[in-house]
């Protein structure tokens, strides 16, 4: 009996990691920074001036929405600003592509910036028009 070949769908990954919510990413960043600094939950709590149970619940993800004051204390104890802990950089960007794009934009002179912005507006208008056309009924 001939063996069947297994079908592989190259465009479909076999496994995709679940996307994390912003709250879950915050918990992950706090945990990573704590471990990077080689701090225990108790040590981080002491540094931040927080109760160990509060930090422990945040560390395991049971408290996904820490109070702003708690976030400030944790960020300070980890040597970061609250914005950095939330995943924002000093320039307001959130990832490497945005940082690169912003850096490249800043290198342009005023005329180049104006031309690029005009191009982007035109491209946005074109995309909006195409999106609107896709939703229209073409049977008429």
Q: List, for residues 90-110, the tens digit of each pLDDT value.
A: 666 666 677 677 778 888 899
- Per-residue pLDDT of 60-72, as tens digits, reads 888 778 899 999 9
Query: Is 87 in contact with 26 (CB distance < 8 Å)?
Result: yes
Question: What is the percentage of the chain residues whose pLDDT exceeds 90?
Answer: 30
* Architecture (CATH level 2) of domain 22-85: Orthogonal Bundle (1.10)
Among 32-36, 76-80, 104-108, the range scoring the smallest mean pLDDT is: 104-108
Give whole-number Cα distances, 132 to 34, 78, 128, 138, in Å.
Answer: 48, 48, 6, 12
Query: Is 53 in contact with 60 (CB distance < 8 Å)?
Result: no
Query: Is 51 in contact with 58 (CB distance < 8 Å)?
Result: no
Mean pLDDT, residues 129-134 taken together: 66
Cβ within 8 Å of residue 24, ≥6 positions away: 61, 64
Among 8-22, 40-54, 79-93, 111-125, the range scoring the smallest mean pLDDT is: 8-22
User: Would the pTM of this model clear 0.75, i.e. be above it?
Assistant: no
CATH 1.10.260.40 domain extents, the chain: 22-85
CA 119 – CA 123 distance, rounded (Å): 6
Asked whether residue 16 carries a pLDDT value surpassing 80, the answer given is no
Residue scoring higher pLDDT (72 or 13): 72
Among 19-23, 37-41, 72-76, the range scoring the smallest mean pLDDT is: 19-23
Asked whether residue 75 carries a pLDDT value surpassing 80, the answer given is yes
Q: Give me the pLDDT at residue 140, please.
A: 44
């Amino acid at each position: 009996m001939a063996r069947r070949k297994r079908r592989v769908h190259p465009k479909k990954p076999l496994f995709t990691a679940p996307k994390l919510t912003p709250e879950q990413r915050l918990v992950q960043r706090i945990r990573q920074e704590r471990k990077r600094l080689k701090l225990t939950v108790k040590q981080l709590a002491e540094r931040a001036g927080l109760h160990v149970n509060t930090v422990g619940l945040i560390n395991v993800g049971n408290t996904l929405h820490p109070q702003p004051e708690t976030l400030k204390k944790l960020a300070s104890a980890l040597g970061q600003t609250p914005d950095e802990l939330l995943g924002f950089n000093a320039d307001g960007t959130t990832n490497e592509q945005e940082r690169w794009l912003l850096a490249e934009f800043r290198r342009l002179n005023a005329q180049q910036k104006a031309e690029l912005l005009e191009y982007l507006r035109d491209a946005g208008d074109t995309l909006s028009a195409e999106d609107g056309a896709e939703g229209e009924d073409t049977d008429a």
